[in-house]
Amino acid sequence: MSLHATIDRVTDRIRERSAKTRAAYLAKIARAAEDGPRRAHLSCGNQAHAYAAMPDKEDMARTRKPNIGIVTAYNDMLSAHQPYERFPDIIRRAGHAAGATVQVAGGVPAMCDGVTQGRAGMELSLFSRDVIALAAGVGLSHDCFDAALYLGVCDKIVPGLVIAAATFGHVPAVFIPAGPMPSGLPNDEKSRVRQQFATGEVGRDALMAAEMASYHSPGTCTFYGTANSNQMLMEFMGLHLPGSSFVNPNTPLREALTVAGVQRAAAITRLGNDFLPAGEVLDERAFVNGIVGLMATGGSTNLVLHLPAMARAAGVLIDIEDFHDISESVPLMARVYPNGLADVNHFHAAGGLGYMIGQLLEAGLLHPDVKTINGTGLDGYTAEPKLDGDRIRWEAGASETLNDKILRPATDPFAQTGGLKQLQGNLGRGVIKVSAVAPERHVIEAKARVFSDQEQVKAAFKAGEFTEDTIVVVRFQGPRANGMPELHSLTPTLAVLQDRGLKVALLTDGRMSGASGKVPAAIHVSPEASVGGPLARVRDGDVIRLDAVTGRIDCLAADFDDRQPAAFDPSTSSEGMGREMFAAFRAVAGPATEGAAVVV
Alpha helices in 385-510 (DSSP H): 454-462, 479-482, 491-499
Alpha helices in 392-490 (DSSP H): 454-462, 479-482
Helix, strand, coil distribution of the chain in percent, nearest 5: 45, 15, 40
The answer to whether residues 478 and 503 touch, using CB atoms and an 8 Å cutoff, is no
Residues 62, 56: Cα–Cα separation, whole Å = 10
Cα of first residue to Cα of last residue in the chain, in angstroms, is: 36
Q: What is the DSSP string of 329-378?
A: HS-B-B-BTTSSSB-HHHHHHTTHHHHHHHHHHHTT-S-SS---TT-S-G
Phi and psi angles of residue 220, each rounded to the nearest 5 degrees, phi first: -70, 145
Q: Is the four-CA dihedral 544, 540, 527, 233 of positive or negative sign?
A: negative
User: Is 144 marked as a binding-site residue?
Assistant: no
Identify which of 50, 48, 102 has the alpha carbon closest to the alpha carbon of residue 72. Answer: 102
The answer to whether residues 172 and 275 touch, using CB atoms and an 8 Å cutoff, is yes
| Region of 545 on the Ramachandran plot (φ > 0 left; ψ -120 to 50 alpha; else beta) | beta
Exposure class string for 266-294: b at 16+ Cβ within 10 A, else e = bbbbbbbeebbbbbbbbbbbbbbbbbbbb
User: Is 555 marked as a binding-site residue?
Assistant: no
The answer to whether residues 123 and 482 touch, using CB atoms and an 8 Å cutoff, is yes
Strand partners, 511: 486
The answer to whether residues 338 and 516 touch, using CB atoms and an 8 Å cutoff, is yes
Identify which of 207, 363, 202, 349 has the alpha carbon closest to the alpha carbon of residue 295. Answer: 363
Residues 273, 160: Cα–Cα separation, whole Å = 29
Pairing of strands 552-555, 543-547: antiparallel
Contacts of 234 (CB under 8 A, 6+ apart): 158, 175, 177, 240, 245
Peptide bond just before 527 cis, omega within 30 deg = yes
What is the maximal distance between C-alpha atoms in the chain? 77
* Cα dihedral 478→482→486→491 (10° resolution): -90
Q: Residues marked as binding?
A: 154, 221
Q: Residues marked as binding for [4Fe-4S] cluster?
A: 154, 221
